[in-house]
Amino acid sequence: MNFSKPLSDTLTQFNAAALADGNLPAGINILAAMCCTLCGILPRGAGFRAPGGDILPVGLDFLMLDGLSSSLTDAKVFRQMADMQSALTANVAKGNTYEAHHGIGMTMHGTPIYAAPSNDNAMTNLESTLNGFGSRSGDSSPFEALLFPTSEAMKSDLKTNSMVFARLDSNSPPFEKYPSTHLSQPFIRAFLDTGTGQRRFLQQLKSLAQCGVGGLALHSRIALSATPTVFRDLLTNGAADFLMKSLWIYDHPRSAPQQNPIPNSSYSITQAFDAALRKAWSQRLDHRLQTPPAIICEWRKNQGVWVSYLAKQENRFPGISATAYTLFSTLLFGLCRLSNKETGSASPAGAFDMAKHLIERMIALREHLVQSEERSRLRTIAIRLLPKLDGRPYTARDLVRKSNRLPIDDCRRALQLLSQERIVVRVGEEQWKLALPVEDGLQKIRTSIIEV
- What pTM, to 2 d.p., does this model score? 0.76
H helices, E strands: number in the chain? 17, 13
The per-residue pLDDT string of the chain (452 residues; one tens digit each, 9 = 90 and over) reads 679 999 999 999 999 999 999 999 999 999 999 999 999 999 989 999 999 889 999 999 999 999 999 999 999 999 999 999 999 888 888 766 655 555 545 444 444 444 333 334 444 454 554 455 445 555 555 555 555 556 666 666 677 788 899 999 888 887 776 767 888 889 999 999 876 777 788 888 888 877 655 555 677 899 999 998 889 888 877 687 888 899 999 997 555 444 556 667 678 999 999 999 999 999 998 877 778 999 999 999 999 999 999 999 999 999 999 999 999 999 999 999 999 765 568 999 999 999 999 999 999 998 887 777 777 888 889 999 999 999 899 999 999 999 888 999 999 999 998 998 899 999 988 899 999 999 999 988 876 644 43
Q: What is d(CA 303, CA 286) in angstroms, rounded to the nearest whole number?
A: 30
Residue (of 171, 215, 169) closest to 192 by Cα position:
169
Distance CA 158, CA 139 (A): 34
41-54: b (≥16 Cβ within 10 Å) or e: bbbeebbbbeeeee
E-strand ranges in 287-430 read 294-296, 394-395, 424-427
**Residues 405, 410, 412, 414: is their CA dihedral positive or negative?**
negative
